[in-house]
Homo-oligomer: A and B are copies of this chain.
C-alpha cells in the first residue's frame, strides 16, 4: 500500500455507499451500459483481399517464422509439431487455423462488482482508459514524470466515468514507487478505487501471479472460482517485426492456464517495424498475433483471447509515429475484417500524436475512435486521456475523450432509429402546421427529456453567452471538470475484510521484496 496518496486513505472505506450519489453532483453523465454496435462494418478489403492477407500472414508464419524468446513456449510449440530452428518457430497454416478455431468468439469478464461484468465479443464495444504513458501533463502542472498521486487521479477518473468499461494498464507510470513493488501499490489502488475489470502487465512471473491473486482476493473468490471464468485480462505486444519476448509470453501463458483473457496486440508501425504498405503491415501484425494465439490455444484449449491492432504509420520525414491518420483508419478496418474472418474478438485504440488537448488531438482521436466503430472493434484501449503518441496522459484529454465516447455510445442507441407511427409524428406535424413551432406540442413534451444527447462538457451557448461566462475554451473547461470530479470522488463500496486482506497481501509481498527488477 503506497504512502504517496494520503487522500485516498482518508476517503476509502466506510463512506463508499455514497459514491453513486456524490458522483451525480459534478456532471450529468450517461448511464453505464454495454453499447452494441449494430452498424455494418466498413470493409475496405474485398473477399479476395481478405484471402490475400490471410495467405500473406500464413506465408510469414510458415516460411519466415516467429522468434519466441521463451524456452517454455518454444518447447510447447515443438511438442505441437512446429518446426523449430533456435528460437525461431515455423507454423503450419493448418495448425494455426486449428488452434485459432479453438478460441471462443466471445466471453464475459467479471470484476469484483458483478454489475460491471463485460461481454468481450459479439457486437459489444468496450472502452478503457489510457495505459502506460511515462509522463503526465495538465494545464496547471505541465509535463512531468508520472507519480502515484497522478496515477490515483486517473484511476478515479476511470472509475467515475460510466462510459469507461475497464481499467487498463497504468494510466500513468508512477515512477516514485520502486519497480519491485509498484504493481502491488498500483493494483491496490486500482482494485479499491474501482470496481471495473482490471488488467495485469505481463512483466515477469511475480507481477502476474501477484495481480491474479489480488484480483481473486478483491472478488472474494476461491482459487476454483477465479479460474472458472474470466475475471481480469492481460495485453501483450510482440516485438515487431517477428518476435515475442520472454515476459510477455510468460505472463500470457500464466493467464491462459488459469482461464484469464489475453489480448495479443502487435505494434507494427508501417515504415519502421513493419512494411511501408498497409497490406504488408497488417499481414505481419496478423502473423505475430496469430502465432501467440496458437501457442495459447495449444496449452489451454479454448482459453479466452483477442487480437489487437496497433498498426499505424510513421512520419517518413522524421520517423515520428503518427496516429489517427487515414492509414491508421484503414489498417484498423482491415484488421476488423480479418478478426471476423478468424472469429476472434478485436481490440483497437483511441490515439493521437498531438502534445496537448487541442484541435489536432481531437480530430486524430475522433478518427481513431470512429475507425474502431467502423472496424467492429470489441475493445478500445487508450480511449480516454492519451496524448503525444502515448507518452503523455492528460486529465483534460481524459474528460474530453469521455464526451466523445459518450457521443458514440449514444449514437449506438437503437431508440433513435424508431420508425413507428409515433416516431413519424404525422399528427404532430399536422397539429403544428406551416410555420409553427414544435417546442410546445404534446408530442415534444412527452419525449423531450430523453430525446437528445445531453453533453457534460460541450458548450452549446451562443458566443455572447459563452464570452460573458469567461470565454473558456474546451481544454480549460475540461480542467475544471476533472478537478471537480476528483473533489467529489468517493470509491465504490468494498467489504472491509476484503480490503484488509488485500492490504495484508500487499504488506506481505512487500516484506518479501516484491518482484525482481532485472527485467
Q: Write the residues of chain A forming the contact surface with B, with a CB cutoff of 8 angstroms.
A: 38-40, 42-45, 48-49, 52-53, 56, 59-60, 63-64, 66-67, 88, 135, 137, 143, 239, 241-243, 270-280, 283-284, 313-322, 325-327, 329-330, 334, 353-367, 370, 388-389, 391-392, 400, 403-404, 407-408, 410-411, 413, 416-420, 422-426, 428-430, 432-439, 443-444, 447-449, 451-454, 457-463, 466-467, 471, 473-475, 478
B242 touches A433 (CB 8 A): yes
B60 touches A429 (CB 8 A): yes
B417 touches A49 (CB 8 A): yes
State how many angstroms separate the Cβ of A466 from the closest Cβ of chain B. Answer: 5
Q: A276's contact among B319, B326, B451, by CB below 8 Å, is which?
A: B451
State how many angstroms separate the Cβ of A197 from the closest Cβ of chain B. Answer: 25
CB nearest to A433 among chain B residues: B242
Q: Given the interface contacts A329-B411, A425-B277, A447-B276, does A460 sit within 8 Å of B418 by beta carbon?
A: no
Q: How far is the CA of A449 from the CA of B276 in the complex (A)?
A: 10
Q: How far is the CA of A437 from the CA of B56 in the complex (A)?
A: 19
Q: How far is the CA of A363 from the CA of B435 in the complex (A)?
A: 33
Q: Give 27 A-B contacts (CB < 8 Å), ordered by A residue.
A: A39-B42, A44-B417, A53-B424, A64-B430, A67-B435, A88-B434, A270-B438, A272-B437, A275-B438, A275-B444, A276-B425, A276-B448, A278-B418, A279-B419, A318-B461, A319-B439, A320-B460, A322-B460, A330-B416, A354-B459, A355-B463, A359-B359, A360-B457, A362-B366, A363-B365, A363-B400, A366-B366
A326 touches B407 (CB 8 A): yes
- Beyond contacts A52-B419, A67-B435, A274-B438: 18 other A-B pairs, Cβ-Cβ < 8 A, are A242-B429, A270-B452, A271-B438, A271-B439, A272-B437, A276-B447, A277-B451, A280-B423, A280-B426, A280-B428, A284-B425, A313-B452, A318-B460, A326-B413, A334-B417, A355-B467, A363-B403, A366-B366
Q: How far is the CA of A12 from the CA of B208 in the complex (A)?
A: 70
> Which chain B residues border A478 with CB–CB below 8 Å?
359
Q: Given the interface contacts A279-B418, A462-B320, does A44 sit within 8 Å of B52 by beta carbon?
A: no
Q: A362's contact among B38, B359, B438, by CB below 8 Å, is which?
A: B359
State how many angstroms separate the Cβ of A418 from the closest Cβ of chain B. Answer: 6
Q: Name, among A284, A426, A428, A439, the residue most crowded by chain B CB atoms within 10 Å (CB to CB).
A: A426
Q: Name, among A366, A447, A454, the residue most crowded by chain B CB atoms within 10 Å (CB to CB).
A: A366
Q: Given the interface contacts A277-B423, A411-B326, A443-B276, does A67 sit within 8 Å of B434 by beta carbon?
A: yes
> Which chain B residues border A366 with CB–CB below 8 Å?
362-363, 366-367, 370
> Which chain B residues border A473 with CB–CB below 8 Å?
356, 358-359
A53 touches B419 (CB 8 A): yes
> Which chain B residues border A284 with CB–CB below 8 Å?
425, 429
B272 touches A439 (CB 8 A): yes
> Which chain B residues border A280 with CB–CB below 8 Å?
423-426, 428-429, 443
CB nearest to A388 among chain B residues: B463
State how many angstroms separate the Cβ of A134 from the closest Cβ of chain B. Answer: 11
> Which chain B residues border A318 with CB–CB below 8 Å?
460-461
State how many angstroms separate the Cβ of A473 from the closest Cβ of chain B. Answer: 4
> Which chain B residues border A448 with CB–CB below 8 Å?
271, 276, 316
Q: A275's contact among B360, B363, B429, by CB below 8 Å, is which?
A: B429
